[in-house]
């Protein structure tokens, strides 16, 4: 194949690459409905996680207080049993009564501390249940939106399949060093590695090309001529 033919193939690769870039960008453009549903799901998940963390914290507090309450009640019962068995005079009776009073006050303190925590447990469990209900209710509509988006993306990929096949064939018939150079330039130049020029102006950066550059580019020889301003490969259509 002639050198100009190599550049012509490379220019066609560029055309295909830009179209494939467009399709890939379109893949990321999800619908407003799906975006809103995903945002809503994320918000519900975050709220549920925060609620469950808070509930776990309250549950730990309740368990500890209930253990302390049970222990204090046991101590009251033991002291009363010991009082009945061992308090043989007024002094011992008074000592036992003092200890039992202190323990009973502690029992009351634990009971008072548990009341708001029990209420908080109920509220948090109700909130978690409500959020799980919201999540469940959202699932069908979100699933339908996700399926529709998967079909949309697959359609775009199917649309680009012929272009990818054509591109692979063109690349396979083009000198590897030329393809590599094109891809390196394309990577650093916003996806455009080879450009045409019209009326002496580079279509990549719109700079007026020197006459000698235009003449060399028109010859279509390799190594390719590049725009002295933007560094893209020049191709005469």
Kindly report, residue by residue over 86-135, the tens digit of the pLDDT. 988 999 999 999 999 999 999 999 999 999 999 999 999 999 999 999 99
The answer to whether residue 178 scores a pLDDT higher than 90 is yes
Q: Which of 137, 160, 183 is at the close of a domain? A: 160
What percent of the chain lies above the pLDDT cut of 70?
99
Residue 235's domain comprises 1-27+175-237
- Write the secondary structure of the chain as one string of H (helix), E (strand) and C (coil): CCHHHHHHHHHHHHHHHHHHHHHHHHHCCCCHHHHHHHHHHHHHHHHHHHHHHHHHHHHHHHHHHHHHHHHHHHHHHHHHHHHHHHCCCHHHHHHHHHHHHHHHHHHHHHHHHHHHHHHHHHHHHHHHHHHHHHHHHHHHHHHHHHHHHHHHHHHHHHHHHHHHHHHHHHHHCCCHHHHHHHHHHHHHCCCCCEEEEECCEECCCCCECCHHHHHHHHHCCCCCCECCCCCCEEECC
Same domain, 99 and 12: no
Tell whether 168 is covered by a domain.
no
Number of domains in the chain: 2
What percent of the chain lies above the pLDDT cut of 90?
92
The answer to whether residue 179 scores a pLDDT higher than 80 is yes
Q: What is the pLDDT of residue 1?
A: 64
Same domain, 50 and 128: yes
Same domain, 21 and 100: no
Q: What is the pLDDT of residue 2?
A: 75
Q: What is the pLDDT of residue 15?
A: 96
Tell whether 131 is covered by a domain.
yes
Q: What is the pLDDT of residue 21?
A: 96
Same domain, 125 and 236: no
**Residue of 196, 159, 156, 170 whose CA lies nearest to 1:** 170
Q: Range with the lowest mean pLDDT among 17-21, 82-86, 229-233?
A: 82-86
Same domain, 213 and 138: no
Query: Tens of pLDDT along 154-175?
Result: 999 999 999 999 999 999 999 9
Q: What is the pLDDT of residue 197?
A: 93
Same domain, 181 and 154: no
Q: What are phi and psi of 202, to 5 degrees?
A: -65, 125
Taking all residues of the chain, what is their mean pLDDT, rounded to a whole number? 95
Q: What is the pLDDT of residue 192?
A: 97
Q: What is the pLDDT of residue 220?
A: 87
């Amino acid at each position: 194949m002639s050198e100009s033919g190599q550049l012509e193939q490379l220019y066609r690769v560029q055309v295909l690459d830009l179209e494939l870039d467009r399709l890939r960008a379109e893949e990321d453009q999800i619908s407003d409905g799906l975006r809103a549903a995903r945002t809503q799901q994320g918000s519900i998940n975050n709220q549920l996680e925060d609620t469950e963390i808070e509930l776990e914290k309250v549950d730990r507090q309740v368990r500890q207080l209930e253990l302390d309450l049970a222990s204090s009640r046991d101590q009251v019962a033991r002291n009363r049993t010991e009082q009945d068995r061992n308090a043989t005079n007024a002094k011992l009776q008074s000592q036992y009564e003092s200890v039992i009073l202190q323990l009973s006050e502690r029992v009351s303190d634990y009971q008072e501390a548990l009341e708001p925590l029990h209420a908080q447990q109920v509220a948090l469990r109700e909130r978690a249940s409500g959020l799980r209900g919201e999540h469940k209710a959202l699932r069908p509509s979100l699933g339908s939106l996700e399926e529709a988006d998967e079909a949309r993306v697959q359609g775009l990929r199917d649309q680009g399949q012929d272009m990818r096949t054509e591109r692979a064939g063109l690349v396979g018939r083009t000198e590897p060093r030329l393809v590599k150079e094109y891809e390196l330039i394309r990577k650093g130049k916003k996806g455009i590695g080879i450009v045409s020029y019209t009326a002496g102006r580079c279509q990549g950066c719109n700079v007026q090309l020197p006459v000698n550059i235009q003449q060399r580019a028109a010859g279509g020889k390799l190594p390719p001529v590049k725009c002295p301003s933007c560094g893209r490969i020049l191709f005469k259509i």
